[in-house]
Amino acid sequence: MSSSNLAIEVTDLHKHFGKTAALAGLNLQLAQGSVGGFLGPNGSGKSTTIRILLGLLKSDGGTATLLGGDPWRDAVELHRRIAYVPGEVSLWPNLTGGQAIDILARLRGGVDYAKRDELLERFGLDPSKKARSYSKGNRQKVALVAGLASDAELLILDEPTSGLDPLMEQVFTECIRKVKAEGRSVLLSSHIFAEVEKLCDTVTIIREGQTVEAGRLDDLRHLHRTVVSVVLDRDAAVLATVAGVNDLVTDGFKATFTVGEEELGGVLKTISTYSPRTLVSSPPSLEDLFLRHYGGAGRAQLTTTQVAGAR
Amino acid sequence: MNTGTPGTHGATRPSARWDTMTGFLLCVRFILRRNWLRLLVWAAVLAVMIPVVYDSQQQAFPTQAARDAYAQVANTPAVAAMTGLPYAAGSLGGILVIKIWMTLAVALGFASIFLVTRNGRADEEAGRTELLRSSALGRHAYSMANYVVAGGLSVLVGLLVSLLCLSVSLPVAGSWVMGASIAGTGLAFVAVAALCGQLSTTSRGANSLGVAVLALFYFIRAGADLQTHGTEVSPLSWFSPIGWAQDMRPFGQDTWWPLLALVALTLLGCALALRIETTRDLGMGLLAERPGPSRGSAFLASPVGLVLRLERGSLIGWLLGAIVAGAFFGGVAKAMTTALDPTNPFAKAFMGNSASVLDGVMSLFVMFNGLLAGAFAVQCLAGARGEEANGRLECQLAGALSRSKWLLAQLLVAAVGSALMLLIGGFLTGASSNGAATGRDMAAASLGYWPAALLMTGVMLFLHGFLPRLSVSLAWAVYGLSALIAMFGPLFSLSESAIKATPFGAVPRMPIEDFALLPTVDLTVIAVVLAALGIWRFRTRDIVPE
């Protein structure tokens, strides 16, 4: 991939807050016209990365390129071409939601009232209410409408659906698909696996400020084991001796195990000789990928990571 | 609690009344934990004024003859209006009351208002109260704890004042009344703040309302004290709790019963506030929210336009404050022109070596205009840090807005706003003085304080750049110290050159002194350098939310 068609290119990014290292060599790439998922537990450095990309924080090392520019030096020029939706939206309590939307949109360049009013309608938001009376979900809608009403080349969304109900999440999904169809790029930081699986072409998973997994979602799945559940005509313990079977759990005739891509054919051949009554094979879900990196060695580790990463 | 009501509900009903106070002591500890340093600083700063001012007055009036001479001339309209009737100016205790009583009482009133709002409405606005109330906490426990802690500060300050008066061998009865009258004023404003916190939905609104009520009570008693001849109390003073406390007259008649009225007002006010709390929803005030415009204009989205809109209420409030203060100062000057004989040698001795005693008083009023404008400048720019602290700045900077443009818009509003306040306040001081001075001259004299106000913006910008998290507290500390020295420098026995080295002290005291270019240029240059450093640093540092 040549750097010219990358909307975001982050290489070996470092950032410290006092003695705490928030980012320790983070890599992130987003091709233009694609939707990239950005996953990681709380405090792993997602928001710090995004704030560096927005020129709000200065990195301590490494390079970050946004739409071909330097996010710190060219902040103002770059911001005309991007839209940002924060995960925690703080609004001016004595202004209305409509005013806040227009202020944010105008700061980027201007308001497209037709688009804005259509989005207000779809999200069911009353723009004449004072922001202090909005719930978390409604505050989130204000930021979403302001961001989605723009024609920015790149949308940077930091957990944009937190606080939204499932109906509104659906509206959000449709909006992002439309953005993608228009050839625009989206960086989507999220905790909702279904959302990322539905929308994203690529995924970057980070942990403690470092990238642990990145690539096309399909490719990542290839690298991981398929989960197979079978019911055989005999004690399933026989599977223990079959080459390629891993993580075997048996319960009488029933068994669940994982198998790598290369060994799948051989394993299925062997199983067929045990005349299986049912066989279900499922590709690894994003959640599996995620848990593999965070929960693999046990839940305790995940908890420690969260504590250490939080500042 | 209850000695047994028969019937099925007997077991639960009696305690229901006290359920609303469940967790009260826990809340008291919690509030003390969050505010102990703040409380100690308030108590120490206020109490320490007593020995400092007492010492300086002992030096100024070493003999009874000197005090008697002072008593002859102390009863001027300016003294009556600003600090109350000088009913015992012939004694050291009475002089202490003239010099410091009103400052302490009003400052304690401010402390009560800010404390109650900070722990009350501000927390509710931020959603922290919701978190507390969702636990096993009585409905009134937290508010009651808030009022008790704030009231505790008043009692503590009163006690310290009394003990410090006793420690310098002032009369015993007067010392206790001195402390009690100051504590009583502080308590009354705990009740005022409690009510304001229930009426307004924002901490800013609650603070503004509280300060407005304090100003109103101050001006009512000022009007009352201006009305009277001699040292008799005007009935008008009974419309202000500050007036009640004044009429306890420490080191004079030592009257105790107005304290009962103050305590009764406190209890009634707090009880009413708790009553309102029962009837309203959490997070709401009594004043309902109206829908607003559903679109934002291009002007609103411009950096200056947004600051003007966000600070609209506060700008109007400060300008009104400048107008009221200007008119009040002019009124006092007018009263003086009729009451004061400028050839009186004693008057000359106390007001400065100028041809006109009136000019001395006018220069004092001009300085007050300057101090008001300086406070506005700090508060306005503190709003900029507020935008950064609560995360709203990030969304703005994520648009195509440069950091310097955003900050300069805030600076512009602070600078122009303070200049307007100086011009309006100064003009009214002169125009309403019935010929004591012209509006034009007083406006020009007040504008002389603009460099000092600009220096305050410079200090705030510098701190905002280098120490963002501490900037607001530190800027107010710098302002407070500067204001204190400008007002009470001589009382603290500071040398003239030391006073001249502080922001407000450096400004030539027109009209009693002539305009001087050097301090004006000095202040401006320092202000510009500090501001430039602060802006440079802000452009190169991380954005730090709270």
Q: B294, B300, B312: which to substitute to probe chain A, counting the most A Cβ within 10 Å?
A: B294
pLDDT for residue B79: 81
CA distance B31 to A25: 43
Of B291, B390, B540, the CB nearest to A128: B291
Tokens (6 digits) for B155: 């009692």
**β-bridge pairing A210-216 and A202-207:** antiparallel
Contact B218, B240 (CB under 8 A): yes
Work out the minimum CA distance from A93 to partner chain B, whole angstroms.
Answer: 9
Total beta-carbon pairs less than 8 A apart between chain A and chain B:
119
Per DSSP, what are the bridge partners of residue A230?
Answer: A255, A279
* DSSP line for B120-188: THHHHHHTHHHHHHTSS--TTHHHHHHHHHHHHHHHHHHHHHHHHHHHTT--HHHHHHHHHHHHHHHHH
pLDDT for residue A157: 95
Work out the minimum CA distance from B203 to partner chain A, whole angstroms.
Answer: 11
Tokens (6 digits) for A129: 């209410």
Which residue numbers of A have CB closer than 8 Å to B's CBs? 51, 54-58, 75-77, 79-80, 82, 84, 86, 88-109, 113, 126-130, 132-133, 143
Q: Quick one: residue A110, left, alpha or beta (phi over 0 = left, psi -120 to 50 = alpha)?
A: left
Question: For chain B, what are the domain ranges?
Answer: 25-287
CA distance B481 to B438: 31
Of A76, A93, A127, the CB nearest to B294: A127
* Contact: A128, B397; criterion CB under 8 Å: no
Domains detected in chain A: 3-221 (3.40.50.300), 225-283 (3.30.70)
Residues of B in contact with A92 (CB under 8 A): 310, 392
pLDDT for residue B344: 53
SS3 track for chain A = CCHHHEEEEEEEEEEEECCEEEEEEEEEEEECCCEEEEECCCCCCHHHHHHHHCCCCCCCEEEEEECCECCCCCHHHHHCCEEEECCCCCCCCCCEHHHHHHHHHHHHCCCCHHHHHHHHHHHCCCCCCEHHHCCHHHHHHHHHHHHHCCCCCEEEEECCCCCCCHHHHHHHHHHHHHHHHCCCEEEEECCCHHHHHHHCCEEEEEECCEEEEEEEHHHHHHHCCEEEEEECCCCHHHHHHCCCEEEEEEECCEEEEEECCCCHHHHHHHHHCCCCCEEEEECCCHHHHHHHHHCCCCHHHHHHHHHHHCC
* Contact: A108, B399; criterion CB under 8 Å: yes
Query: CA torsion angle for B195, B200, B203, B208 (degrees, to 10)?
Result: -80
* Contact: B310, A94; criterion CB under 8 Å: yes
* Contact: B295, A98; criterion CB under 8 Å: yes
Q: Would you give the DSSP letter of residue B23? A: T
* Contact: A107, B289; criterion CB under 8 Å: no
Q: pTM to 2 decimals?
A: 0.79
pLDDT for residue B1: 39
Residues of A in contact with B541 (CB under 8 A): 58
pLDDT for residue B294: 87
Work out the minimum CA distance from A107 to partner chain B, whole angstroms.
Answer: 5
Residue stretches of chain A with pLDDT short of 50:
1-3, 297-311
pLDDT for residue B20: 80
Residues of A in contact with B544 (CB under 8 A): none
ipTM field: 0.77
* Contact: B397, A94; criterion CB under 8 Å: no
* Contact: A56, B543; criterion CB under 8 Å: yes
Residues of A in contact with B201 (CB under 8 A): 132
Work out the minimum CA distance from B299 to partner chain A, whole angstroms.
Answer: 9
pLDDT for residue B287: 60
Cα B59 to its chain centre, rounded Å, is: 29
* Contact: A95, B396; criterion CB under 8 Å: no
Which of B461, B459, B477, B474 lies closest to B541 in space, CA to CA?
B461
- pLDDT tens by residue, B250-302: 999 899 999 999 999 999 999 999 998 888 777 666 666 678 888 888 899 89
CA distance B53 to B363: 22
Number of neighbours of residue B108 by Cβ within 10 angstroms? 27
Of A97, A107, A133, the CB nearest to B399: A107
CA distance B127 to B544: 21
Own/partner contacts of B8-16, CB < 8 Å, gap of 24 or more, are none
Which residue numbers of B have CB closer than 8 Å to A's CBs? 125, 201-202, 289-298, 300-301, 306, 309-310, 313, 390-392, 394-402, 540-543
Work out the minimum CA distance from A196 to partner chain B, whole angstroms.
Answer: 24
Q: A59, A103, A121, A154: which to substitute to probe chain B, counting the most B Cβ within 10 Å?
A: A103
Question: Which residues contact residue B345 at a Cβ distance below 8 angstroms, ignoring those fewer than 6 apart?
Answer: none
Question: Which residues contact residue B197 at a Cβ distance below 8 angstroms, ignoring those fewer than 6 apart?
Answer: B116, B117, B120, B121, B206, B273
B357-389 and B312-339 helices, crossing angle to 10°? 170
Residue stretches of chain B with pLDDT short of 70:
1-18, 229-230, 283-289, 337-356
Residues of B in contact with A103 (CB under 8 A): 296, 300-301, 306, 396
* Contact: B295, A102; criterion CB under 8 Å: yes
Question: Which residues contact residue A10 at a Cβ distance below 8 angstroms, ignoring those fewer than 6 apart?
Answer: A26, A27, A28, A29, A49, A53, A62, A63, A64, A65
